[in-house]
Structure 1
Amino acid sequence: MTFSLVLLIAYFGFHALTGERGILSSNQRNEALAAKTQELALVRAQRQDLEMRARLLRDTSLSADLLEERARSLLGFADPRDYMIRETP
């Protein structure tokens, strides 16, 4: 009986030191936490950028004229009523 208790204590003691969440693996967990924290900061920055872009495209914050002007500029189209001024590079 005593021998089995000693084995049980040794088993749990060994895994408390070297297991996945053991004392000796705390450096690996800290490194993983630091990497995930940096990744979280990057993802949050990307999300804020995308939210800002989406906010600018909503009907309440963008005029139709401005959107049309930007679309024509990107697509290279012109309205027949527009005046075209050509510049030589």
Structure 2
Amino acid sequence: MAFLRGVKRRAQALVLPTIFFALCGYFAHHAMHGTRGLLARDARNTEIAAARIVLAEAEAERDAMERKVAGLRAEHLDRDMLEERARALLNVVSRDEIIVPYAPNRRLF
């Protein structure tokens, strides 16, 4: 009987620490692998960096288009820009010009 009482006391003494360590393990696991954990944060930071690169490329493309459009506005007409666009759209060249062929999937503008 004394042996069983000793086992029972030891078991009761281990219940609270076991529950505590189980809860700590649960929260530690979710702190790493949960939807708001460290690994998810790293994935979000990577996505944000990729989105910022795409944004910078889009802004650069928009700025280039704005510069080209600004040269064709009626208030400030750039004759060279107008002639370049007309030649590109009509597919016309003069005798002293050099032609650089582009692949069909590459855009000039």
The two structures have a TM-score, normalised by structure 2, of 0.46
Q: Matched residues in 1 for 2:68 and 2:45: separation?
A: 35
The two structures have a TM-score, normalised by structure 1, of 0.54
Q: Tell me the matched-pair count.
A: 68
Q: Matched residues in 2 for 1:20 and 1:54: separation?
A: 46
Q: Percent identity?
A: 34
Q: Which runs of 4+ in 1 moved over 3 A?
A: 12-17
- In structure 2, stretches of 5+ residues that fail to align are 1-19, 97-109
- In structure 1, stretches of 5+ residues that fail to align are 1-5, 77-84
Alpha-carbon spacing, 1:25–1:51, altered in 2? closer, same or farther (3 Å) = same
Alpha-carbon spacing, 1:62–1:15, altered in 2? closer, same or farther (3 Å) = same
Residue equivalent to 2:57: 42
Offset, 1:44: 0.6
Q: Name which one, 1 or 2, has greater alpha-carbon Rg.
A: 2
1:31 to 37, 41, 46: 46
